[in-house]
Amino acid sequence: MRFSLNIDHIAVLRNARAETQPDPVTAALLAEQSGIDGIVVHLREDRRHINERDVRLLRELLTTKLDLEMAATDEIIKIACDIVPELATIVPEKRQELTTEGGISVIDNIIRLKSAIKDLHNADVEVSLFIEPDIDQIDAAAEINSDYIEIHTGVFANAISEEEQFDELEKIRLAAKHAKKLGLGVNAGHGLNYQNIKIFKELTDIDEVSIGQAVIARAVFVGLNEAIKEMINLIR
Ligand code: PXP
């Protein structure tokens, strides 16, 4: 299982005082030295954390890979086609939310997503759709030629009983297996942390996890290198 680090929170800290530090681009380069497999950033419509300067520099400097999380809006699709990240992960985006709250409904947005995927493919950008572990959504993602799905793990992460957590894990396991059968790459993320990753990593059909909050929060106390190494040791 590969591990990509989401560095949006480093940019949140920088932007809190309209400063230049901590620089998310520096963090990304340090994270690469610590052994992560890729960097994830969410270029939001309101630019509340990562901005275009960050994304353009990351594109130039990263030696692993860049996963650009984004809404399927004309403005951001145009930027993605220009920057050409290794992967564009399409998420639903609401201006008021604190973070992405769940997967996008491929079925309800099929025309818009099909057109977004076509535009991104024409620019040589592979696409992932952030969705719930739902077989119908996965079928729809495959139908419109998505290359990957990213399974939303928030319900698993927020489960309040072991039984609920196990049920959700099973749902994710079956969803990942189904997606693999259809030839899709399978990523997963949201709310994964140093505790729940221990059972999550048993899911052999997940290619990659995308983790932000838990690792950046730990990095505040032990440093980025140590926080990343601890997570890598749990995952591999
Ligand atoms: N995957 C997606 C699509 C996300 O929106 C986020 C949050 O930015 C993550 C993964 C990482 O979630 P967390 O910060 O809870 O680890």
Looking at residue 185, which CATH number applies to its domain? Answer: 3.20.20.70
Which residue type does 187 have? N
The pick from 40, 155, 190, 192 for probing ligand 1's pocket by mutation, whose C-beta has the most ligand atoms within 8 angstroms, reads: 190
Whose CA is closest to atom 7 on ligand 1? 190
Phi and psi at residue 187, to the nearest 5°:
-105, 170
Question: Could you read off the pLDDT of 191-233 as tens digits, one per residue?
Answer: 999 999 999 999 999 999 999 999 999 999 999 999 999 999 9
> In 10 A of CB 169, how many CB atoms?
19
Domains contained in the chain, number: 1
Q: Dig out the tokens for 117 from the structure.
A: 């995927």
What's residue 144's pLDDT? 98
From the list 171, 215, 218, 176, the residue with the least C-alpha distance to 192 is 215
Q: Dig out the tokens for 28 from the structure.
A: 């990304």
Ligand 1 midpoint to CA 227 (Å): 17
Please tell me the pTM assigned to this model.
0.96
* C-beta separation of 39 from 62 below 8 A: yes
* C-beta separation of 203 from 172 below 8 A: yes
Range(s) of the domain holding residue 166: 2-235
Question: Could you read off the pLDDT of 158-172 as tens digits, one per residue?
Answer: 999 999 999 999 999
Question: Could you read off the pLDDT of 24-43 as tens digits, one per residue?
Answer: 999 999 999 999 999 999 99
DSSP assignment, residue 146?
-
49 Cβ below 6 A of ligand 1: no
Which atom in ligand 1 lies closest to the alpha carbon of residue 69? 3
Which atom in ligand 1 lies closest to the alpha carbon of residue 216? 14
Residues labelled as active-site residues = 42, 69, 190
Question: Could you read off the pLDDT of 8-27 as tens digits, one per residue?
Answer: 999 999 999 988 999 999 99
Q: Count of alpha carbons within 13 Å of 76, Cβ hemisphere only?
A: 24
Ligand 1 midpoint to CA 101 (Å): 9
Ligand 1 midpoint to CA 81 (Å): 22
One DSSP character per residue, 15-77 reads HHTT-S-S-HHHHHHHHHHTT-SEEEEE--TT-SS--HHHHHHHHHH-SS-EEEEE---HHHH
Burial of residue 124, with CB atoms counted within 10 A of its CB: 0-12 exposed, 13-18 middle, 19 or more buried: exposed
212 Cβ below 6 A of ligand 1: yes
From the list 173, 205, 175, 208, the residue with the least C-alpha distance to 189 is 208
Ligand 1 midpoint to CA 6 (Å): 7
Q: Dig out the tokens for 33 from the structure.
A: 């030295």
